[in-house]
């Protein structure tokens, strides 16, 4: 949220869209990683499913209204309650060499000593380890 106050519009080109909080129920309840309504981690839902649980529907809305309209997407966190807050960045490996190179360069432009690639298989592994289920409404 601090970023919004530091942006200098005269120093950027194009359009900058900042979504301060995607998962309002999780933010308000201080729920770690998952939406309290359905127990799903928002990050694992993209591109979302309008017929899925609350979190999958939310993921679909964000994907359609923000991500698909962007040339670049930076997914930032302020640190969850149980994180050590060691600065790190990760970037998606898509298999498209040009996209992957730009993604890695963007990730390395942020301060911090750790930059990690995130593959589809590592994203799925994270999802499975958290008990994510596409249609797991409570």
Can you give the pLDDT at residue 52?
A: 94
- 63 versus 122: the higher-pLDDT residue is 63
SS3 114: strand
Q: Which residues pair with 104 in a beta bridge?
A: none
- The answer, yes or no, to whether residue 133 has pLDDT greater than 80, is no
pLDDT digits (tens, 9 = 90+) for 12-58: 888 888 888 888 888 888 887 789 999 998 878 889 999 999 999 99
Tell me how far apart the alpha carbons of residues 81 and 68 are, in angstroms, rounded to a whole number. Answer: 30
pLDDT of residue 135: 37
CA distance 39 to 52: 13
Looking at per-residue pLDDT, the higher value among 3 and 5 belongs to 5
Cut 0.85: pTM above it: no
pLDDT at 97: 94
Q: What is the pLDDT of residues 75-89, one digit of tens each?
A: 776 655 656 667 778
CA distance 64 to 30: 26
The two structure tokens encoding residue 130: 């958290």
pLDDT given at position 129: 43
């Amino acid at each position: 949220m601090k970023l919004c106050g530091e942006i200098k519009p005269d120093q950027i080109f194009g359009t900058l869209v900042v979504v301060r909080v995607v998962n309002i129920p999780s933010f308000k309840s201080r729920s770690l990683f998952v939406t309290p309504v359905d127990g799903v981690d928002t990050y694992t839902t993209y591109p979302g499913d309008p017929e899925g649980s609350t979190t999958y529907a939310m993921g679909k809305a964000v994907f359609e209204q923000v991500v698909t309209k962007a040339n670049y997407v930076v997914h930032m966190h302020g640190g969850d309650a149980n994180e050590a807050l060691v600065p790190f960045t990760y970037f998606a490996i898509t298999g498209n060499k040009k996209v992957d190179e730009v993604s890695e360069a963007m990730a390395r432009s942020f301060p911090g000593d750790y930059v990690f690639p995130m593959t589809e298989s590592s994203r799925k592994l994270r999802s499975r380890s958290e008990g994510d289920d596409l249609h797991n409404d409570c």
